[in-house]
Amino acid sequence: GTDVAMESADITLMRGDVNGVATALDLSRQTIRTIKQNLFWAFLYNVMLIPVAAGVLYPVFQGVGGVPGSLEFFFGEQGFLNPVLAALAMAFSSVTVVSNSLRLRRAKV
């Protein structure tokens, strides 16, 4: 009976202390807040940088006579984002999301 109850339960209290329910609820609130932060960050980051990587600045640079010399490292000669930098930017985004999630390990429970 007890094993079946533990398998089907969403939360299992391992001690007789009922305060564990409050702790679990607090941790779940922190988790949901972190998930929302991560989704917001990832959405904002992708909405801003995917168009840049796809060449939304191409017409801008063509209108001013090409990519300025100081930006050629980032946008090449045509105005498209350097693929290596785009990959690094996506890796940075992933590291940011994972780092934000790891903050939950320090949560006071």
What is d(CA 60, CA 67) in angstroms, rounded to the nearest whole number?
9
What local confidence, expressed as pLDDT, does residue 1 receive?
Answer: 59
Using H for helix, E for strand and C for coil, what is the string for 22-43? HHHHHHHHHHHHHHHHHHHHHH
Model pLDDT for residues 46-86, shown as the tens digit of each residue: 898 888 888 887 888 777 787 788 888 888 777 778 888 88
Domain parsing of the chain, residue ranges: 2-106
What is d(CA 98, CA 100) in angstroms, rounded to the nearest whole number?
5
Residue range 11-37: mean pLDDT, rounded: 88
Q: Which of 52, 42, 44 is nearest to 95 (CA)?
A: 42
Model pLDDT for residues 90-107, shown as the tens digit of each residue: 999 999 999 999 999 988
Q: Is the Cβ–Cβ distance between 53 and 74 less than 8 Å?
A: no
What local confidence, expressed as pLDDT, does residue 40 receive?
Answer: 96
Which is it for the CA torsion 16, 22, 28, 31, positive or negative?
A: negative
Structure tokens at 27: 């941790």
Q: What predicted TM-score, i.e. pTM, was given to this entire model? A: 0.72
Residue range 26-51: mean pLDDT, rounded: 93
What local confidence, expressed as pLDDT, does residue 29 receive?
Answer: 94
